[in-house]
Amino acid sequence: MEERNNKKRQVFENIHVVEFAAIAAGPLIGKHLADHGAEVIHVESYERPDGFRLNYPPYKDNKPGLNRSGSFTICNNNKYGITLNLKAKGALEVAHKLIKWADIVIENFTPGTMKKLGLDYEEIKKIKPDIIMLSTCNQGQTGPHALHPGFGSHLSSLCGFTYITGYKDKLPSILYGPYVDHVGVGYGVISVVAALEHRRQTGEGQYIDLAQYEVGIQFMIPALLEYNVNKRILERNGNRHAFAAPHNAYRCKGEDRWCVISIFSDEEWEKLCKLMNREDLLSDPRFKTILLRKQNEEKLDQEIENWTSKLTAEEIFKILQKNGIMAGIVQNMEDIFLDPQLNYRGFWPELNHPEVGKIHGEAPPFILSKTNFKIDRAAPCLGEHNELVFKKFLGYSNEEYEKLVKDGIIG
Amino acid sequence: MEKKQKKLLEDCRVLDFTDETGFLCGKILGDLGADVIKVERPGGDPSRNIGPFYKDIPDPEKSLYWFSYNHNKRGITLNIETETGREILKKLIEKTDIIIETFKPGYLKSLGIDYDVLCKINPKLIMTSITPFGQNGPYKDYRGSDLVLLAMSGFMSLLGDPDRPPVRPTLPQSFMWIGMHAAEGTLMAYYYRGLTGEGQHVDVSGQAAIVWASSIAPAYYDYNKEIPKRAGSFISGRSVTGALMRAVYPCKDGFITYIIYGGPAGIRTNKKLTEWMASRGMAPEELKNKNWDKFDITTVTQEEIDEIEEANRKFFETITKDEFFKKVIESDMLGYPVTTAKEIMEDEQLRERGLWKDVYHEDLNAHITYPSFFAKFSTIPCNIWRRAPLIGEHNEEVYREIGLNKKDLILLKEANVI
C-alpha cells in the first residue's frame, strides 16, 4: 500500500509472462508488459535462437553475433532470457513448470506448432486453468490460409498499405520494416490487458487468436468503406491531401534535408505567406482560394520550396510552429534520438548491454501519471538467465539443473 | 461465441472528446463493450467533414471517415465553453470511468475542468489526453497534422523514392497509431484501477506513438550511428553490405511483393521460385545451379541480388496477381500480391474467418460492410455493436440519466449548450 502511494507500483507487478516467440510480433508484446512491471521470460534454444539474433542486422560494428543484434535489443529489454530446447526428451515437463509459473503465454509460431509440441491452449489450461494465451500469426489460427507464413513486409502489401504509398507514376513504395507486425503488437497488448481484466473480473483464463492481417485492416477502414460504398479504389498520391494545400515535404538547406508543411485553411495560408515574406502570393490569382491552390498545386509547391530551400528544416519548423502553422522536420533516425521533446519524455532510456556497451531502450508512447514505465535492463544475452529462472523462479535444485543441462533440455 | 454474454467493459462509461487524431481509442474500448459516448460541440464535430462521403454527398452525417472510427459509440452534444455545459459535464463525470480528449494542453485547465479538478469529483476517473507531442515539454504547444507527425516521428524519412521527397501513405496512418497506443495506456490504467481503486492520467504523445511504426530502424543509429534511408520499392538493412532488395515487382495486372530473404522460410521460397520459373522455361542457368542452402542474406552483395532479381522481374511480368497468390499459398512460399480495397474485401481467408459484418444505417436505408473484430477471444466478445452516431442522437437518453427532462433539453438547445 505504501509503495503504491509513493507511485512506485507498476501496473503488471507480479504478472508472469512466458514467450515462445521470436522476431518482433510476439516479443514486443512482452516487452511492453515488461516496461510496466511484468516479469517476462523469453524462451529460445541454442539450436533455434531468436531470428533477430541470426538473420537481421544491425549488428554492433557490423559484426554478426548472437548477442550483437540491435533488432533483438529493441524488442526484449527488461526480460529474462533462457534456453529450453523444446524438442529434447523431457523438455515438455520443464515447459509445464514454466506454464505453471506464468499468467500469460505469448507465442508466434506457425499455427499448429504449439500443438505439435504439446503446448496448445487445450493442453496448457489443464496445467493452469486460468492461463491467458495469445497466439499471434500472419493469417490467424483458422481458415484456408491459416498455415501460410509471412513476414511483415509481405503483409504490408496484402493489407493494402503498399498500394496507397508513393507516386502514381512510380512503383508503389514498401513501408519500412515489418509495419503490420507492430500494429499487431499494439493490438496484442490491448488483447492481453483485456484478458487480464477479464480474469480479474471472473477468474477465467482466455485464448486469443490474433491475425496480423486482420489488425492491419483496422488501419485501413476508410479505404474499405469507400470501395464498399462508392466502388472507388484509393490510389497513392504522393503527399497530396484531399482538402489541404500546400501539403507536402519541401527541400531545405543541407543534404537530403526536408521539412513538411500542411495548410488547411485560408487563415493558415495567409499567415504562411506573411511568414515567408511573400504577401504577393495572397493576391496571386492562382492561389487565392483552396480550390485554386489545389488546381495549381505544383506551382504552389515550387513557390514554397523557393523559400524552404534557403533555410534549414529546423528553422522552418520553429518559425512556422511558433506562429501556429502545422510544420515539421522530416527527422531521420539520428534526429529522433536528439529530439528534445522525445528526450523530455524519457523516450530513450540509457541501458548497459554486457557485450555491446551503452545503448538505448525505446519507451512506450504514453506516460501513466501514477504507474509509469520503467526500462532498466538491456535485452538478455542468449541463455543469460538460465540459472536464475530454472533455480530461483522454478525451484530446480543444483543437481536437477545440472541434469537438465546434461540432457540437452537446457541448451 | 457471441450469445447474450456480458461484455468485458459493459460497466465502463467513456466520454470521448476526441477529434480524428484519437477516434480509434474509443472505438477499441467500444469493440470490447464499453459504453462510449462521443461528445461533440453543438452542431457536430468538424471532423465529420473529413471525406470520403457516402455516395459522394458531402454531409456531416455521411462521412465514411467518421463511420470508420466512431461506431460502437453513442453521441451527444455539449458546449463545455459555457458554465451550464461544464455543470452538466461535472454531473456526467460522477458516473464516468474514462475520459478521452484531444484538446490542446492547458485548454481544459483554462475552463476549470482539467484532470486535477475532475478527479476530485470522481477519484476513480481515468483521463487519457492525446496531443501531437504530449502534455509537457518544449513542443507541447506545437500543432500536428498526419503529415507533421509522420515527419517528426522519423517514419517518413524511411518512406518514398530516393529521387523524390519523403512520402506518406495516402490514407492517414498516424491517427491510427495514436488511437491504438492510447487504448493500450487507457486499458492498462483501467486494469490497475480494478486492482487498486485508483484512477490516473494517461498522457499520449502522437509523435512518440508513431516512432514505433519505424520498427527496428532506430537500432541502426543506436548501434552503429547509421541512418537508414528511404528506398522506394526496395527494402534496406538486410545485408551488412548495404545491398537493397526489391519488394515490389510489376506483374501482368498490377504489382506483387516478393523479397529475396534468408532463413529457412526465405531459402525455401527462393528454391521454389526457381523451380516455378524453370517449369516455364524462365530460370537462367545460374539460378538453376545456385546452392540456395549456402545463401547468406546477411552478407549478400548488391551484385548477386541484382542478378537474381533481374530474372525474377522478367518472370513476374508474365503472371497475374491471382496466379502469384495461389502459388505462394499452395507452395508455402513467402510473398503476397499488392492488394487494393477490392481484393481485401473479396479475400477468401477473411471471409472464412467471419471478419465482415453488414451494419444497417437506417438514416441512409443502406447496409455498409465493416470489419467486425480485431482479435478472436475464447470468451471476450469483440465486435461491432452499433453504427456511428448522428449529431446529438443520444442526447435525450443520456441526459435523462442525470435528471434532465425534455423541456430542459429544449431550453439547453436554444441556449446553444447542446
What ipTM does the predicted assembly reach?
A: 0.97
> Model confidence at B237, in pLDDT bands (50, 70, 90)?
confident
- Where are the CATH 3.30.1540 domain residues in chain B? 229-337
Q: Is the confidence at residue B303, as pLDDT, over 90?
A: yes
DSSP B386: S
Q: What interhelical angle do B263-279 and B321-331 show, nearest 10?
A: 120
Q: Across chain B, what does the average pLDDT equal?
A: 95
- Contact yes or no for B371/A218 (Cβ under 8 A): yes
Beta strands in A66-145 (DSSP E): 80-83, 104-107, 132-137
- CA angle, B32 then B34 then B38, to 5°: 120
Q: Indicate the pairing of strand B98-101 with strand A247-251.
A: unpaired
- CA angle, B368 then B372 then B378, to 5°: 160
CA dihedral A100, A101, A105, A106 (to 10 degrees): -150
**Domains plus CATH for chain A?**
2-219+345-406 (3.40.50.10540), 247-338 (3.30.1540.10)
> Which pLDDT score is estimated for A5?
43
Neighbour count for residue B413 (Cβ, 10 Å): 14
> Which pLDDT score is estimated for A8?
54
> Model confidence at B374, in pLDDT bands (50, 70, 90)?
very high
Give the closest residue to B171 by CA, choosing from B374, B48, B341. Answer: B341
Non-local (6+) Cβ contacts of A267 within 8 A are none
Q: Among A348-362, B50-64, B281-295, B331-345, where is mean pLDDT lowest?
A: B281-295
Q: Is the confidence at residue B4, as pLDDT, over 90?
A: no
The CATH number assigned to the domain with range B13-213+351-414 reads 3.40.50.10540
Q: Is the confidence at residue A3, as pLDDT, over 80?
A: no
Phi, psi of A228 (to 5 degrees): -55, -45
Cell numbers 519524455 correspond to A345
In this complex, the residue of A200, A227, A341 whose CB is nearest that of residue B137 is: A341
> Which pLDDT score is estimated for A2?
38
- How many contacts does A have with B, using Cβ atoms within 8 A? 526
Give contacts of A176 with chain B, Cβ < 8 Å.
Answer: 155, 158-159, 214-215, 217, 228, 235
A397 shares contact with chain B (CB less than 8 Å):
no
Q: Is the confidence at residue A7, as pLDDT, over 60?
A: no
**Cell triple for residue B38?**
462521443
- Contact yes or no for B30/B70 (Cβ under 8 A): no
pLDDT one-digit tens code per residue, A201-244:
999 999 999 999 999 999 999 999 999 999 999 999 999 999 99
Q: Is the confidence at residue A4, as pLDDT, over 60?
A: no
Phi, psi of B297 (to 5 degrees): -65, -30
Cell numbers 523524390 correspond to B164
Give contacts of B157 with chain A, Cβ < 8 Å.
Answer: 330-333, 335
pLDDT one-digit tens code per residue, A119-176:
999 999 999 999 999 999 999 999 999 999 888 889 999 999 999 999 999 999 999 9
Q: Across chain A, what does the average pLDDT equal?
A: 95
Mutation for testing the A interface, residue in B299, B336, B346 having most A CBs under 10 Å: B336
Give contacts of B329 with chain A, Cβ < 8 Å.
Answer: 144-145, 148
Give me the amino acid identity at B327. Answer: K
Give me the amino acid identity at A204. Answer: E
Q: Which CATH class is domain B229-337?
A: alpha beta
In 3-state terms, chain B is what percent helix, strand and coil (to 5)?
40, 15, 45
Cβ pair A332:B265 closer than 8 A: no
pLDDT one-digit tens code per residue, B326-359:
999 999 999 999 999 999 999 999 999 999 999 9
pLDDT one-digit tens code per residue, A51-93:
999 878 899 998 989 999 999 999 999 999 999 999 999 999 9
pLDDT one-digit tens code per residue, A311-353:
999 999 999 999 999 999 999 999 999 999 999 999 999 999 9
Cell numbers 464499453 correspond to B34
> Which pLDDT score is estimated for B211?
98
Q: Is the confidence at residue B2, as pLDDT, over 60?
A: no
> Model confidence at B3, in pLDDT bands (50, 70, 90)?
low
CA distance B410 to chain A (A): 34
Cell numbers 491552390 correspond to A293
Q: Is A101 helix (H, G, I), strand (E, B) or coil?
A: helix
> Model confidence at A296, in pLDDT bands (50, 70, 90)?
very high
B158 shares contact with chain A (CB less than 8 Å):
yes
A225 shares contact with chain B (CB less than 8 Å):
yes
Neighbour count for residue A186 (Cβ, 10 Å): 30
Distance, CA of A54 to CA of A57 (rounded, Å): 8
Q: Using alpha carbons, list the distances in angstroms from residue B115 to B19, B36, B90, B128, B201.
A: 19, 19, 12, 9, 7
Give contacts of B163 with chain A, Cβ < 8 Å.
Answer: none
CA dihedral A311, A317, A318, A320 (to 10 degrees): 100
Distance, CA of B250 to CA of B275 (rounded, Å): 20
Percent of chain A with pLDDT strictly greater than 70: 98
Phi, psi of A377 (to 5 degrees): -135, 135
Distance, CA of B212 to CA of A185 (rounded, Å): 10
Q: Where are the alpha helices (DSSP H) in B317-394?
A: 321-331, 341-346, 348-352
pLDDT one-digit tens code per residue, B37-47:
999 999 999 99
Cβ pair B339:A163 closer than 8 A: yes
Q: How many CA atoms lie within 13 A of B103 on its CB side?
A: 21
Cβ pair A62:B368 closer than 8 A: no
Distance, CA of B178 to CA of B204 (rounded, Å): 8
Kindly identify which residue of chain B lies nearest to residue A327, measuring between CA atoms: B148
Cell numbers 515567408 correspond to A276
What average pLDDT does range B378-406 have in this prediction?
Answer: 95
pLDDT one-digit tens code per residue, A92-101:
999 999 999 9
Distance, CA of A183 to CA of A218 (rounded, Å): 9
Give me the amino acid identity at A270. Answer: E
- Where are the CATH 3.40.50.10540 domain residues in chain B? 13-213+351-414
What average pLDDT does range B396-400 have in this prediction?
Answer: 94
DSSP string, A190-250: HHHHHHHHHHHHHS--EEEEEEHHHHHHHTTHHHHHHHHHH-------TT--SS-SSEEEE
Percent of chain A with pLDDT strictly greater than 90: 94
Q: Where are the alpha helices (DSSP H) in A105-178?
A: 113-116, 121-127, 152-158
Give contacts of B218 with chain A, Cβ < 8 Å.
Answer: 74, 333, 336-337, 360, 362
- Contact yes or no for A220/B250 (Cβ under 8 A): no
In this complex, the residue of A204, A248, A329 whose CB is nearest that of residue B379 is: A204
Q: Is the confidence at residue A249, as pLDDT, over 90?
A: yes
Cβ pair A57:B240 closer than 8 A: yes
Q: Which one is catalytic: A181, A266, A335, A407? A: A181
Cβ pair A222:B192 closer than 8 A: no
Q: Is B287 helix (H, G, I), strand (E, B) or coil?
A: helix
Give contacts of A330 with chain B, Cβ < 8 Å.
Answer: 151, 156-157, 166
A275 shares contact with chain B (CB less than 8 Å):
no
Conformation bin of residue B365: beta by default, left when phi > 0, alpha when psi is -120 to 50:
left
For residue A181, indicate whether it is catalytic. yes
A239 shares contact with chain B (CB less than 8 Å):
yes
Q: Would you mind telling me the total number of residues written for chain A in this entry? A: 411
Distance, CA of A242 to CA of A297 (rounded, Å): 12
Do you find a cis peptide bond into B250, omega within 30 degrees of 0? Answer: no
- Contact yes or no for A152/A181 (Cβ under 8 A): yes
Give the closest residue to B230 by CA, choosing from B173, B338, B156. Answer: B156
Cβ pair B214:A344 closer than 8 A: no
In this complex, the residue of B146, B229, B334 whose CB is nearest that of residue A154 is: B334
